[in-house]
Structure formats: C-alpha cells, structure tokens
Chain A
Amino acid sequence: MSEANENKEYTWINPLGVWGAKGGNYEVTSNQVSDPSDVWRKNTGYKVPTAKVGRLKHYHIWDNHNEKLWKRLRWWPTRRHLLHVKGIYNRKTLNAEKKILDRRPIYWIICMVILFIGPLLFPSSMQSSLLTAGATFGIFAAINVCWTLIIGTASIFSLATYAVVGVAAFLTSWLSINFGLPWFSLPLIGAAIGFGMGGLIALPALRLDGFYYALLTLGLNELCRVYFTTSQEFGSASGGLYGADSYLSESWSPAVQSHASYYIALMILIGALVLFRFVNGKRLGRILRMAPEKREAFAEACGVDYKRARIQIFILTSAALGLIGGLYTAHFRGVAFSIFSFDTVLLGLAMLTIGGIGKAEGAILGTLVVVFLDRVMIEWGPMRHFLIGALMLASVLWLNNGYFGIKQQFNAWRDKKRGEWRSTRTEKGGEALPEEATEIDDKDDLYFRRYDKMQRDYLKTLITPEIIAEHMAKPLGQHSEALERVLLYFRRAKMEDKYALHRVGPDGPFKIIAFSGVRGVSPRVVEDKEYPTEEAGYHGVFMRRVHDLLES
C-alpha cells in the first residue's frame, strides 16, 4: 500500500442509528476511503508492449449463393455433397462466405488427374522404369490401403497382409499354370482364398492383441515364406511361379503393355479406395471410431460391439487382399517369393508409418515415397534403404500422425506457443490485450474487464482489519462507507463462482457454496467448514470474498 493510499482511521457514525435501527452498527472504527488516483495512474496503459493485430485476406473466398438456387450434387450413392461447404458470416464484416470444411476431395481429384496424365509427363528416358514403378506403386498402394483398414480402422495389428496376398497369388498362379484357368477367374479365386485366410487369422485376434498378435502374424508370414520357398510345387527352383494367364496380351508391344499395366494398377488402387471409403466411412468405420485403442471398454459399456466390427472388417479386407493377390498373378503372370520376404513386410510397414496410420492418403503417399526410392532411385544403391529408414524414423520421432498429420500438429503446436506467450503478457483479470480482444465477440466484456480491474485495485486499498471487524460484528445492515463500497462490489459479482450459504439441516449448520453460473448446474461446495449460524456464515462468505479480492 503506497503512502498516498494509507488509510486514516476514523470513527463512522451510523446516520440511521437514531432511528433505532437493529441492523448495522451505531458507531464503529473504520477507515476513510482512500485516494483512487494511484490506481488510475497504474491502469491507464498496457504493461507490456502491444502490436497491431489482424490477418490480411490473401486468398479468394467464395461468396454465398444468396438469392440464386444452389443445386447441390452428391457423391453417388452416399448423401455426401461434392464438397463439404458451410456458409458462415465473417466475424469482421458479416459478409456471407463459404468455408470448405474438407478440402480432401479437391486434393484427391488433383492427385488422380496427375496419376492419369503421369505417363505423358514422364521423361522418355525413364518412361519404362517409371511405368513399371507406377504399376508396382498402384498394386502396393492398393494393398496398403487395405492394410490401413486393418491396422488403422480395425486396430488389429496384423503383419500377415502380404502373406494373404502372397498365398492367394501363389495358389492362383499354380491353378492357372496347372489347370489353365483364365485370368479373370483368378481374382475371384484369390478373394475366396483371402476370405478363408482372413477367417483363420482373425480367430487369434479375439484373444491376442498388440505386440503378441503382431508376432503371431509375422510368424505366419514367415511360415508361408518357408513353405512356399521350399515347396517343389510352387517353384522352389525358379524363385517363384511364372506362366499364369494374364490380361496383358503378349502380342501387344512392350510400350502398350507397360501403359496398360500402369493404368490397370491404378484402377486396382481406385477399387481399394472405394472399399476403404465404404468400410471406413460407413457404419463399421463409425462403430470403430467410437472404440479407439485403450477406450474399448468404455465403448463396450455403451453397447458398441467393437470386436464383431473389427473381425468383420478384417475378414472383408482379407478377401479384398486375396482378390488383389489374384490380380497380382494376372498382372505379373505369376509371383515371386519376395512377396513373403521380411523386407517386403518392413517396406510395407514403412509405407504406412511414413504416411500416417489410419488414413488412405497416408498409405498412398507412403507407398509412393517408398516405391519411388526403392524402384526408381535404384542407382542410389543401398543408400535408398537408409533413406527410407530415416524417413520412417523421422516420422515416428517427430510426427504424431504421419505426414498428413503435420498441419494438425502444427496448429496444436501454435496453440501451445500462443498459450505460453500470452501467459507471459496477459494480466489475470486485467485489460484485454489486442490479440485477446479478437477472440471476444461481446466488446462490452472488454470494457468490463478494464472497469473491474480498476475497481478491484481500488477496493484492495480499503480492506483493513477495521472493516473486517465491523462486518463480523454486524454482517447485515448499514455499514461504514468503506465497508459498504466493498460489499456492494462483492454482491454485484457475476453468477459464476458467486458464494452463498447452504443450510445443511433445518436449523443449520451452514456451509459455503459457489454457484455455477451455468443454468441448471448445481452449486459446488467450497469448503468443509461448517458455520453454526447465518451470521457466522455471512462473515465466512465475506472473508472468502476478501481473500479472492486480495488474491486477484
């Protein structure tokens, strides 16, 4: 308390005392109200440097349709519109603006267009290797999209994806070679094989999860590899089975063949994406989003049968993987043992990790990066595998959700930084900073904060032992000016956390509670202390308020 503000003790005489007032003291020692100029001087400016705020409109924002009829198209057969667009009123201008809530369809279309016109853009020197890599990319991306459904959507940590594809590919190759089955039957047979295998691998998932299940499926993959590589039937001598029927006619020129192979692989990828959309974006996917990892028990208690949904997805996806296996055979005229190899599994895992688990776009980007490094940058030698490892490591170390989680992660980081910086600048309960003001719609609140701060700073100077004693003697009734000012301020507080008494029994005792300020939400008990009478309780409330005032 500065010297200027030092309170001079004086005796306050109740002007109503002569009327025989029962409430309020007749005569009490109080303090004269102090000089507010100090408080005013301290509060007429910011204590921290301030800067201009605002963000320049640097891109085009679509207007709304207003009086024009807007015919909205949908993605058949869903109820989704082409773009998830919402009209909003700009908070600065109240202009009606369109906000695209989900830009992904635009990016997907751009990417698909690039993939389709890709061969036109490839340099002629690398045409053939890029087309081959493109085809490989398409098929592996399709596999990884399905894998994402298993690991991401169904949260089943299965490493047997390539085993399913491989088994289907080997069996269909064998059938095609030995029985001359035509290429178009292979995917269907593959799907049946995948379905069967899916059912088989799904069973342990009912009991095992996480690391143990991963080990089990890895073992299964290894088992398949050992079986097929050592089996005469499946070409242990030739490193794989070749000679199956294919949709790529050998009579076509190599250029046509590689182009056809590229586009067919792309179609397979699109097929996998459609599957992804219909599983992840529909009922099954929604059920599983209600039961994310570590919250399964809660979801189950809410009536979500997540296990069933997981197994359904697993089997469905396995059938799709088998189908891809069949197509694989039809595409490459056979299959090599490398499909089972440990590095295939690891490269696949790298593809998923880099892109971010759980997202189709993540699986595709990961596949693109890894396939490009693995198949196109062959001249880099083993270095490229180090690079893949480094990318994977970077993704795991620094990114929460792969490369497609970067934006979200960046925003969260910015929010955190904003919180940190603001806490160093803002004054609790003080004047709003210019940057804080942008977030407050009711500008009256800005003034209230200013006024309230001044009030509190001034009232703090009035709190003395004298007025506390005065209140204790008579909590109700006329009080000295200093106490009256303090009380008037306390009583005018907003409802949130405003104190009151709770009558515990019919005749007391009383406990201090605080109102929620939220309609329909009960008050909370502030402290366990019980006051025997209303008067003691009133004084208890007063002391709490004094404490809060001095703390602020």
Chain B
Amino acid sequence: MAEQKIFGYGNKISVKQGDEITFHVNCDGASTAEAQLVQLIHGDAHEAGPGHVEREIDNPVNGAWEVKKQFTQLGNFYSVEDPSSCLAMEKAFSMTCFIWPTMPKKGTRQTIMGRWDTRNNTGYALGISPQGYLEFWVGDGEEVDYITAEMPLLNKVWYAVGVAYDPSTNTATLHQTGVLNRYNSLVGPVVPYELDSHIQTKLRFHPDNKPGVPFLIGGARDSHVLRGDFINDLFAGKLDRPAVLSGAMSHAEFTECAKGTRPAQADLVAYWDTTEGLSENGVGQTLIDTGPNGLDAEGHNHPVRCMTGWNWTGKADCFRLAPEQYGGIEFHPDTVTDCKWEVTNRMTVPEDLPSGVYAIRLRVGPGEGISEEYIVFFVRPRTPRAKLAFLVPTASYLAYGNESLSFDAHIIQPMTGQPPVVTDLDIETYEHREFGLSTYDTYEDGAGVCYSSYLRPVINMRPKYRMSSMNITWQFPADLSIVAWIDKMGYDCDFITDEDVHREGIDCLRPYKCVITGTHPEYVSERMLDAQEDWVQEGGRLIYMGGNGYYWCVGFSEDHPECMEVRKLDSGMRAWAARPGEHYLQTTGEKSGLWKNRGRAPQKLLGVGFIAEGFETAMPFRKMPDSYHRTVSWITEGIEGELIGDCGLAYGGAAGVELDKYDLTLGTPPHTKIIASSGGHSDNYVLVTEELLYAYAGLVGSLDYRIRADVTYYTSWNHGAVFSTGSIGYGQALPANDFDNSASKMLKNVVDAFIKEGALPGSQWTLEEKQWR
C-alpha cells in the first residue's frame, strides 16, 4: 500500500461565528479521511506540561470526507488574457525583453515568454536552453526548430535579448547584448566579458499557433496524464519590460530597444511596461500592457515586483524615487502562495461556537505523523463580549510557515547549539516542497523568500509540532501554552488575529480591556502597530508575552490578505538580505526591514526590544529592586522568594530562546519599571546584530551584561498600560507544574488587574518618596 499522507488548508485563518470556511485537502493513499472538529487547548507533549489537549466538538462536518490527490502549481509566471488571439503571430514578429537570469545553467529549459505548448510542440517561445544559452524555438506540432545564441548567459547579469522572425523567408535572428552597469549586476564592467551575441539562421518550418495555447511570461504550458495542463519550463531571474512587436525588427532596431527606447506604438503588439502602476503604495499582481491591444498579464504565486531593473543606476534606493529604474520582476520556479486546490468540504461556523482556537483534525490510516493533519483556524465572536482577548500572531505564523532551516541552513546548529531533531513530517515536507517555503528559507536560486501565505498547508502551524532545529514548540504550538493557561485560569477570552487587527484597526481592539499577545509576535504591519498604540492610549492594556516581538515591518495587499510580504535587510537577525535597492514592499510601498530602523523600535510600545537569542538552556527571572515599589508590587504579589519562572517547557526556564531588554536609548517609556530580569545565560546566547556597531570578542551570555530578558511595566493615558515578559520562553513556562508556578502567578496578577475597569492597582503611589532608610 502506498504511504498514506494527508495535508490541507482552509481558505481563511480567522472566521467569525456564522461565517463559512472552506477546506482544501490533498491525500495520498486513501480516498476517505476521518474528520473531526476539535478545539485546541494545548499542543506540546513535553512531560512537564499537560501534554496534548484537544476537545472534540459535535458538528455536521465531522465524519468521513472524500479526499483525493491534488496538485500544486509551483512557480511564478504571468498569463496573458488574449481572447482575440493577437499573440498567435502568423506574420513576421519580434520579441524583446531585458533579463537577469539567476540560474542560467539550471539544466532544464526556461521560458522567458512565448505561446508555447510543450505537449504538442506547437507555437513559439524565447527562453534559455538547458545548457544556459538564449534560445528561440518554434514547433509545428511534430518537430521543434530553434536558434541558439553564441555565448552563454551569465548569472545575475542584465542583458537585453530579442528575436526577430520573418515567416516569408523563415529567417530568425536572435539578439543578446549585455546592459551591465556599475550597479545592476553581480559583477562590474571591469570583468572582460563579451556579452553580445547576434545570430541569424533559416528555420525549417513555420510555427503552428494552435488556438487555446496561452501566451505566458516566465513559463510554458505542459501537460501530465494525471494532472492535466500545468505550467512548466519556469524562468528563474528578473525580467524587465517584455514586448512583442509586429514585423521582424532589424539589428539597428534591436539596438535601440536595448537602449531602453520604447518602440513606436504602431509597431507594438504588446508592451508590458513593468514600471507602469508603481506607486507610492506599491503595485499589484497585474502587469499592464501599454501597447495597443491592452493585453494585461496576471501574476501567479506573487512574482516579486519593485525590483531594480536593467537601467538601475544605484542612486535611487526605492522604486518610488525612480520608478522607471524599477521595472525588474523576479521569478522563482519553486514558490507558491496559493495551492488552488479544489474545495474538499466546507463548514459554517456555528453561532454558538465559543471564540477560540479550532481545527479540523483529519486522519487516514494510522492517523499520526503525516497521516494526521490539523487545519487550524481561529473563531472570533460575531459580537465581542469578553474583557480579555488573545491576539493571535498569524503574521508571524506565516513568516515561519514550513521553514526548513535544519535541512538547508548550516548556521542553524551553531545558532541553536544542538543537533536538530526531525520528524517524518519535516522530511516529507522537505522532500516534496509543494507547500512552499517560509521567509526563513531561500529559493533554489538563492534569493530570500519574501512572500508567505496561508493558502497552502502550513505544517508547523499545528499542535504537537516542534521546531526541529530547536526541539521546542515554536509560534502556534508554543502559543497554545498561553491558550491552555487562559483555559485553565477560566478567563472569558475572545480570539482575534493579526489579520483582523490589520484590516479593522483599533475597532478590532476597542471592545477589550486587556489584550494578550503570542510568544513571538515578530512580524507586524504598520496598521497593526498603529491600532495597538492608539488602543493603549485610549486605555487599553497590552500584555506582551513574547521575545523578539514587533520586529519586522511587513505588508499585506488589499486583494491578497492571505499573503504577507517582508524584505529582510540592513541589520537584524535575518535569514537573508534583500539586495541593494530592493528594500521596499511591493504591497504597501513602505520600507521593510526592522521597525527599529524606521523609528519605531519595539521598546517604544512594549518597553522592551530584542537583545539576544540562544537555544539550549533557559534561565529564571529574578525580581529587580523596583518590583518592591507599591506602584508595581502587586504584580509579584504572592510569589515567594526572588526567582520567577524557574521551570518550563522550553529548556526549563521562563527566560530563554529569544530575549528582550529595556533600553531608554531606543524609546522605552522613561517611567517604565523593570520588574524582573534574567541573567547567567550561556554563551550560546549572543547579542543581536542590530545592536552591533563594531563586532568585538565577548558578545555572549557569560560576558555581556546586556544579554538578559526584562519584565517591564509602564502606564499610559486613560489607565492604559503595557506589561512585557521579554522572553519567548515565558509562555511555555506557564503550563509547568500543572500551571501552578511563579510565572503563571505573576501573569495571573497582571491579567486580573488589567481586565478590571478603572484605575490600575498602585496607581496612587506616585509622590516623590521621602525616605528614612
């Protein structure tokens, strides 16, 4: 019997009571799966905690689901809607484009653009041969004829390429000329490369332009017996201003095009001006044809736009400053932002289903490991009732979705200080790579992944999952420790997500007195930050339960809320670095990177910000002197002794994994008090790079006093307040000893106080002390 595997995703991550959600499931080795709606309470099997806890919920959706194999179209390409077949070129025509290939010697054919059908060998296309040479090919349904350039294409060098084809003489002329300048390519003009190549030959037959073959930019149509039509021969690299011209252009005309001159409108069939539409607020997925036929092209799986183009001169570092130099669109053959699987089943969320964390649990065969799937979603109330809300950091879940650091990143073992512990699920996902990558991975071509979406199975956004490189829960399963704590303490709590806050702003937060975050809310958009800041000013009370939070600036486009964009750059603990000039978000036009570098260090809202990370051990907090002040002494009330959080599910302490510190120079509100701090972290804990001006020896746990986590508290307008734990490990410390521990006690003190209306405890102890001792 074939190995049984099941994977799925929902079309929404956050649903209101009464809303419908659809489920999309792919299954190998079985035709039915046992489905069960469950409420997720705790997701870490660690022996120090309650183990995995879920509650089965009665619902009509439960029972056997018919499931089947579904296929995923990987890769970026643009499809052109061409109902009147303007691009079925029967007369002489030409194509031009600027290209910056990133894997010219990929070993498989790559299509730059064309109307080509691989199954039948019909049509025409301009592309790159498996050996890495520019090639134009035509097919008559039987055979393929082609013309190949003389010199191979070089990695990450800008070229102007073009082909002119005249069916009357059957002559094809292929042009390739280097447009490398001091800035735009991997190497500079000092390297003695001759990049040009101009070839002419007579082809043996005319292309047969069968109806129904799509014109594609960056791919070509192929077909498979089980799968049907799909797009193959995908291009890796950047393209700039592809165009189709009527008539066979001369060498001189090509030379003009290679200088960036736009051909006369009368000569154009299509001119996809990749700079058209670049605005203050970014650009969408549609590639606009400014030629006479309006053949706009639609992008698939988020081709990366706002990239430096062939004519980038290095002065403008943003597409908003010189849009004409930002025509680059980057294509990756192994990306996916929407699996587009067929709907397997759908569910209307019952009106009486309490707000919470839910999942459809699907099982086939043995029903564990890869034969068990949880499609997780968060149910929010139609009308908010509770005083307390848990803000689920879904943006950060996306950022880490399907990361494979253990397999690909050789830096991960020195970082985590331990060998990874991988499961069959990790291996399966790594092998198949059909579910896309995380923003911690790089594409096959080496570029960092800047888009991540939830319209695909996200295998690490499920209970029971441990991040293999660290062997602890991370993000969603780690946040379930807070969910379990809320459940155990019996608080009435609503669940809202990053997506809701991003869309609705402060209105989403206003009903609540206290909002509690996840363990690692690292990725936030400007709207999410604005909403939380405004809400705290209005009297909201935020409990930041994480480490390394509110760190990266991310963007969502209006039409694709499921897909997050981030560019990692300049400084910060980052898995990749965006190339020069490509630091601004396509989705919003903002500069990405660290919020710190945009004048909004997390300290300004949270009181603390990222200072260090380490992974093999964790430490307890120890009360700081200010914790004895009556303004805050209620926070640690009932905690005996000096230590807080000396046990936990993440390396046995509440202060660990990623640590945040108080810093007045980065905008910690000046009246902030440090309630407790950790210390004595091992040398695996290292200072974060954004704190580093000069690197010097000894920036490690046992030698640098800054490497610690701070628990801080400050008050804001209208009885607003922010309490921060400053450590990822804090959330995972809550379930220890059946939730009876000092970390749990301290958090309970804070939540109890925060959900009460009116003045905060200790708020009257504000006079200057007149001390006798």
Chain A residues in the interface with B (C-beta under 8 A): 15-16, 18-24, 64-74, 77, 79, 81, 85-89, 93-96, 98, 475-478, 484, 487-488, 490-495, 498-503, 506-507, 510, 513, 515, 519-523, 534, 537-538, 541
Q: Are A67 and B646 in contact (CB under 8 A)?
A: no
**How does the 8 Å CB contact mask read for B360-399 relative to A, with 1 for contact and 0 for none?**
0000000011000000000000000000000000000000
Q: Complex: how many Å from CA A534 to CA B471?
A: 9
Q: Per a CB cutoff under 8 Å, which of B368, B421, B652 touches A22?
A: B652
Q: Complex: how many Å from CA A232 to CA B620?
A: 115
* Complex interface: chain A residues within 8 A of B433 (CB): 520
Q: Given A23-B651, A513-B422, are A88 and B152 neighbors across the interface (CB < 8 Å)?
A: yes
Expressed in whole angstroms, the minimum distance between the Cβ of B430 and any Cβ of chain A is 7
* Complex interface: chain A residues within 8 A of B651 (CB): 22-23, 476
- List 5 additional A-B contacts (Cβ < 8 Å) besides A23-B652, A64-B150, A478-B684: A23-B617, A23-B651, A72-B200, A79-B146, A89-B154
25 pairs from A and B in contact (CB 8 Å cutoff): A15-B702, A19-B679, A22-B652, A23-B651, A23-B652, A69-B199, A69-B251, A70-B198, A71-B201, A72-B147, A72-B199, A74-B202, A94-B192, A95-B194, A476-B616, A477-B617, A477-B682, A494-B410, A495-B407, A498-B413, A506-B368, A515-B406, A515-B407, A523-B407, A534-B421
Q: Are B427 and A523 in contact (CB under 8 A)?
A: yes
B649 within 8 A of A: no
* Complex interface: chain B residues within 8 A of A72 (CB): 147, 199-201
B417 within 8 A of A: yes
Chain B residues in the interface with A (C-beta under 8 A): 45, 133, 145-147, 149-152, 154, 173, 177, 191-194, 196-202, 204, 251, 368-369, 406-410, 413-414, 417-423, 427, 430-431, 433, 444, 464, 468, 471, 616-620, 643, 646, 651-653, 679-684, 701-702
Q: Are A522 and B199 in contact (CB under 8 A)?
A: no
Q: Are A503 and B682 in contact (CB under 8 A)?
A: no
Q: Are A520 and B430 in contact (CB under 8 A)?
A: yes
Q: Are A538 and B418 in contact (CB under 8 A)?
A: yes
Q: Per a CB cutoff under 8 Å, which of B133, B192, B414, B430 touches A488?
A: B414
- Summarize B's interface: helix, strand, loop or mixed: loop
B682: nearest chain-A partner, CB-CB: A478
* Complex interface: chain B residues within 8 A of A77 (CB): 204
Q: Complex: how many Å from CA A477 to CA B702?
A: 12
* Complex interface: chain A residues within 8 A of B643 (CB): 20
Q: Are B197 and A64 in contact (CB under 8 A)?
A: yes
* Complex interface: chain A residues within 8 A of B198 (CB): 65, 67-70
Q: Complex: how many Å from CA A445 to CA B643?
A: 49
Expressed in whole angstroms, the minimum distance between the Cβ of A513 and any Cβ of chain B is 7
* Complex interface: chain B residues within 8 A of A515 (CB): 406-407
Q: Complex: how many Å from CA A538 to CA B45?
A: 20
* Complex interface: chain B residues within 8 A of A513 (CB): 422
Q: Per a CB cutoff under 8 Å, which of A506, A510, A534 touches B45?
A: A506
* Complex interface: chain A residues within 8 A of B683 (CB): 478, 484
* Complex interface: chain B residues within 8 A of A69 (CB): 173, 198-200, 251
A495: nearest chain-B partner, CB-CB: B410
A17: nearest chain-B partner, CB-CB: B680
Q: Are A500 and B680 in contact (CB under 8 A)?
A: no
Q: Complex: how many Å from CA A16 to CA B151?
A: 61
Expressed in whole angstroms, the minimum distance between the Cβ of B144 and any Cβ of chain A is 9
Q: Per a CB cutoff under 8 Å, which of A66, A93, A499, A510 touches B196?
A: A66
What are the nearest 5 A-B pairs in CB distance?
Answer: A19-B680, A23-B617, A476-B616, A491-B413, A87-B151
Expressed in whole angstroms, the minimum distance between the Cβ of A291 and any Cβ of chain B is 22
* Complex interface: chain A residues within 8 A of B133 (CB): 86
Q: Given A15-B702, A22-B618, A71-B201, are A506 and B464 neighbors across the interface (CB < 8 Å)?
A: yes
* Complex interface: chain B residues within 8 A of A492 (CB): 410, 413-414
Q: Per a CB cutoff under 8 Å, which of A23, A74, A94 touches B193?
A: A94
Q: Complex: how many Å from CA A484 to CA B414?
A: 11
Q: Complex: how many Å from CA A77 to CA B170?
A: 14
Q: Are B152 and A503 in contact (CB under 8 A)?
A: no
Q: Per a CB cutoff under 8 Å, which of A73, A478, A493, A520 touches B410?
A: A493
* Complex interface: chain B residues within 8 A of A93 (CB): 192
Q: Which of B410, B414, B419, B679 has the most CB of A within 10 A?
A: B419
Q: Are A501 and B152 in contact (CB under 8 A)?
A: no
Q: Are B193 and A81 in contact (CB under 8 A)?
A: no
Q: Are A64 and B45 in contact (CB under 8 A)?
A: no
* Complex interface: chain B residues within 8 A of A98 (CB): 150
Q: Are A507 and B679 in contact (CB under 8 A)?
A: no
Q: Per a CB cutoff under 8 Å, which of A71, A500, A519 touches B421?
A: A500
Q: Are B427 and A522 in contact (CB under 8 A)?
A: yes
Expressed in whole angstroms, the minimum distance between the Cβ of B444 and any Cβ of chain A is 6
Q: Are A21 and B682 in contact (CB under 8 A)?
A: yes
Q: Per a CB cutoff under 8 Å, which of B201, B427, B430 touches A81?
A: B201
Q: Are B199 and A96 in contact (CB under 8 A)?
A: no
Q: Are A522 and B430 in contact (CB under 8 A)?
A: yes
Q: Per a CB cutoff under 8 Å, which of B151, B408, B419, B702 touches A499?
A: B419
* Complex interface: chain B residues within 8 A of A476 (CB): 417-418, 616-617, 651
B442: nearest chain-A partner, CB-CB: A519
Q: Are B423 and A503 in contact (CB under 8 A)?
A: yes
* Complex interface: chain B residues within 8 A of A477 (CB): 616-617, 682
Q: Per a CB cutoff under 8 Å, which of B251, B464, B646, B682 touches A16?
A: B682
Q: Which of A21, A77, A93, A498 has the most CB of B within 10 A?
A: A21
Q: Are B422 and A87 in contact (CB under 8 A)?
A: no
Q: Are B652 and A71 in contact (CB under 8 A)?
A: no
Expressed in whole angstroms, the minimum distance between the Cβ of B214 and any Cβ of chain A is 26
Q: Per a CB cutoff under 8 Å, which of A71, A522, A534 touches B200?
A: A71
Q: Per a CB cutoff under 8 Å, which of A79, A81, A498, A519 touches B145?
A: A79
* Complex interface: chain B residues within 8 A of A18 (CB): 680
Q: Are A475 and B701 in contact (CB under 8 A)?
A: no
* Complex interface: chain B residues within 8 A of A498 (CB): 410, 413
* Complex interface: chain A residues within 8 A of B616 (CB): 23, 476-477
Expressed in whole angstroms, the minimum distance between the Cβ of B1 and any Cβ of chain A is 20
Q: Are B682 and A500 in contact (CB under 8 A)?
A: no
Expressed in whole angstroms, the minimum distance between the Cβ of B242 and any Cβ of chain A is 23
Q: Per a CB cutoff under 8 Å, which of B193, B202, B413, B421 touches A503?
A: B421
* Complex interface: chain B residues within 8 A of A484 (CB): 683
Q: Given A476-B617, A477-B616, are A502 and B422 neighbors across the interface (CB < 8 Å)?
A: yes
Expressed in whole angstroms, the minimum distance between the Cβ of B177 and any Cβ of chain A is 8
Q: Are B196 and A67 in contact (CB under 8 A)?
A: yes
Q: Complex: how many Å from CA A202 to CA B146?
A: 38
Q: Are B45 and A96 in contact (CB under 8 A)?
A: no
Expressed in whole angstroms, the minimum distance between the Cβ of B343 and any Cβ of chain A is 29
Q: Per a CB cutoff under 8 Å, which of A64, A502, A506, A522 touches B151?
A: A64
B420: nearest chain-A partner, CB-CB: A500
* Complex interface: chain B residues within 8 A of A502 (CB): 421-423, 427
A544: nearest chain-B partner, CB-CB: B419
B52: nearest chain-A partner, CB-CB: A506
* Complex interface: chain A residues within 8 A of B251 (CB): 69
A93: nearest chain-B partner, CB-CB: B192
B411: nearest chain-A partner, CB-CB: A492
Q: Given A493-B410, A520-B430, A523-B422, are A64 and B680 neighbors across the interface (CB < 8 Å)?
A: no
Q: Complex: how many Å from CA A85 to CA B133?
A: 13
* Complex interface: chain B residues within 8 A of A64 (CB): 150-151, 194, 197
Q: Which of B197, B204, B620 has the most CB of A within 10 A?
A: B197
Q: Are A23 and B151 in contact (CB under 8 A)?
A: no
Q: Are B150 and A87 in contact (CB under 8 A)?
A: yes
Q: Which of B368, B468, B682 has the most CB of A within 10 A?
A: B682
Q: Complex: how many Å from CA A478 to CA B682?
A: 5
Expressed in whole angstroms, the minimum distance between the Cβ of A103 and any Cβ of chain B is 18
* Complex interface: chain A residues within 8 A of B646 (CB): 20
Q: Are B419 and A507 in contact (CB under 8 A)?
A: no
B147: nearest chain-A partner, CB-CB: A72
Q: Complex: how many Å from CA A74 to CA B172?
A: 13
Expressed in whole angstroms, the minimum distance between the Cβ of B193 and any Cβ of chain A is 6
Q: Complex: how many Å from CA A533 to CA B420?
A: 13
A516: nearest chain-B partner, CB-CB: B407
Expressed in whole angstroms, the minimum distance between the Cβ of A426 and any Cβ of chain B is 25
